[in-house]
Amino acid sequence: MPRMQMNQPLSLSIVLIKLVLAVIFAESSLLKVWIIDQKGLLHDINEILCNLQLTIQRVKVMPTPDGRALDLFFITDEMELFHTKERRDDVCQYLSEALGERCISSELQLAGPEYGHLQGFSSLPPAYSEELFGPELVDKVSLHPLSQDMTTLKTPTVTVDNSLSSVHTLLQIQCVDQKSLCYDLMRISKDSDIKVAYGRFNSSAKGFQNIDLFVQQKEDGQKIIDPERLKTLCTCLKEEMLHPLRVIIVNRGPDIELLVANPVELSGKGRPRVFYDVTLALKALGVFIFSAEVVRHSTQERQWEVYRFLLDESRDFPLNSSKARSQIVDKVRRTLMGW
């Protein structure tokens, strides 16, 4: 018994140390990857990290004149094992083996305060901000209008029924079937302080979804009877499902920049797999990414996550062509929405 009492404080201390290390590495870990820069390689690294169950929070791509690049990935581990040396070593080894000769070196470490400027907020020119974050109505004339078949998409319809349940409001939604539709509905509900008690999704042959959501007010568990709150919720659902992401191409001095923006949840989390889908679309088109970064931008209404891609000109894909730019925007939109 005395021996057990002596070991107990030591065991408790070891457990506490492990918990602290787990929290630290879960919050902000930095993966440095030196690579021989090639077209589509950024997406290949992204795919590898997804296979390793790692979530990219921020990224910074810094090319060098000699054809190499230093990619900085601020990541979290879904397995929550970054506090173990074995997990960190396994990640670097798997990445090196998967990339082969394209990988010069890789290193995984705690993201210290010296990298804080790479994880901060970004200021965008007013013209870009207005295009990205302004109210996006169905009939708005955009610098990058939707392709002809995409303009035929109808605005989602939302019908409210408070007669079926004494404690639930029924929201009947009809909208186009698209990637991350369930995520968008849950995000909007959470940000509106609405709890979804039950949901039913029915797909139609024409690519539409018929959705029934039984919802309650989060604060008291009752149905929504305030007309203004119902109106605000329905308007938000229509707008967010029609335009969950914003995609534009702009001139950045002599260069061409692709901007993709999505709302940040109230919890501070961004939309999953956006970076993966955008790099996949650009790789499929054969467009070379010169540099990339993920930043946050604040407006009066909300916070946004903005993916900035500086694109490189090539003979196969002349970026100065308006047709090529429209093709890039259209391809990225379709990949993000799953169309």
Q: Give the domain 151-242 fold.
A: Alpha-Beta Plaits (3.30.70)
Is a pLDDT exceeding 70 seen at residue 112?
Answer: no
- Predicted confidence at residue 315, as pLDDT, reads 72
Q: Is the dihedral of CA 238, 240, 244, 248 positive or negative?
A: positive
Residue 292 and residue 260: Cα distance in Å, rounded?
A: 11
Q: What is the pLDDT of residue 274?
A: 93
Segment holding 283, helix H or strand E: helix 274-285
Domains 2-117 and 151-242 share a fold: yes
Domain boundaries, the chain: 2-117, 121-136+244-337, 151-242
Given a cut of 50, whether residue 89 has pLDDT beyond it is yes
Q: Which CATH class is domain 121-136+244-337?
A: alpha beta
CA distance 32 to 216: 45
Q: Which among 256, 263, 272, 261 has a CA at the least distance from the CA of 309?
A: 256
Domain 2-117 top-level CATH class: alpha beta
How far apart (Å, rounded) are the C-alpha atoms in residues 336 and 262?
Answer: 11
184 and 244 in contact (C-beta within 8 Å)? yes
Give the per-residue pLDDT at 144. Answer: 54
Distances (CA, A) of 139 to 301, 306, 326, 332: 22, 24, 18, 21
Report the predicted TM-score, pTM, of the whole model to 2 decimal places. Answer: 0.79
Mean pLDDT of the chain: 83
| pLDDT for 24 | 42
Using one digit for the tens of pLDDT, what is the confidence trace for 156-179? Answer: 899 999 999 999 999 999 998 899
Average pLDDT over residues 297-323: 84
Span 182-196, average pLDDT: 93
pLDDT of residue 17: 44
- Please report the pLDDT score of residue 170 as a whole number: 97
Give tens-digit pLDDT for 215-264: 999 999 999 999 999 999 999 999 888 889 999 998 888 889 999 999 99
Element (H, E) at 72: strand 68-77
| Angle, CA of 51, 183 and 186, to the nearest 5° | 140
Give the pLDDT mean for 133-137: 62
**Rounded CA gap, 144 and 125, in Å?**
17
Q: pLDDT tens-digit profile of 25-54?
A: 446 789 999 999 877 889 999 999 999 999
